[in-house]
C-alpha cells in the first residue's frame, strides 16, 4: 500500500497538549509521519480527524 499524502494544511499552531490546530496531529505524529507505513498513517489521520472534531465542538464551530 502506498503512503498517504501529508494532511498538513500549513496552519501550524500547537495547543497546550501539543496538538496541531491545522491538521489535528500530535507533535509526535507529525515527526513520525514520513517514517510511518500507510496503515499507521491512516490511524494518525483517523485520530487527527477526531481531535479536530472535538476542537470544533469545543469552540462551537461546525464540524468539518
What pTM does this model have? 0.85
CB 21 within 8 A of CB 55: yes
pLDDT recorded at residue 64: 53
Give CA–CA dist 53/49, Å, rounded.
6
Query: What region, left, alpha or beta, does residue 33 occupy, with left being phi > 0 and alpha being psi -120 to 50 degrees?
Result: alpha
Of the two residues 30 and 57, the one the predictor is more confident about is: 30
CB 54 within 8 A of CB 60: no
Mean pLDDT of 4-22: 94
Mean pLDDT of 15-32: 96
Question: 38-61 burial by CB neighbour count: b if 16+ within 10 A, else e?
Answer: eeebeebbeebeebbeeeeeeeee
Does the pLDDT at position 30 exceed 60?
Answer: yes
Mean pLDDT of 15-34: 96
Amino acid at each position: 500500500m502506498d503512503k498517504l499524502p501529508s494532511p498538513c494544511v500549513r496552519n501550524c499552531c500547537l495547543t497546550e497538549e501539543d496538538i496541531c490546530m491545522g491538521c489535528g496531529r500530535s507533535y509526535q505524529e507529525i515527526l513520525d509521519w514520513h517514517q510511518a507505513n500507510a496503515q499507521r498513517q491512516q490511524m494518525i489521520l483517523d485520530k487527527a480527524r477526531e481531535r479536530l472534531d472535538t476542537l470544533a465542538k469545543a469552540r462551537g464551530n461546525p464540524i468539518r
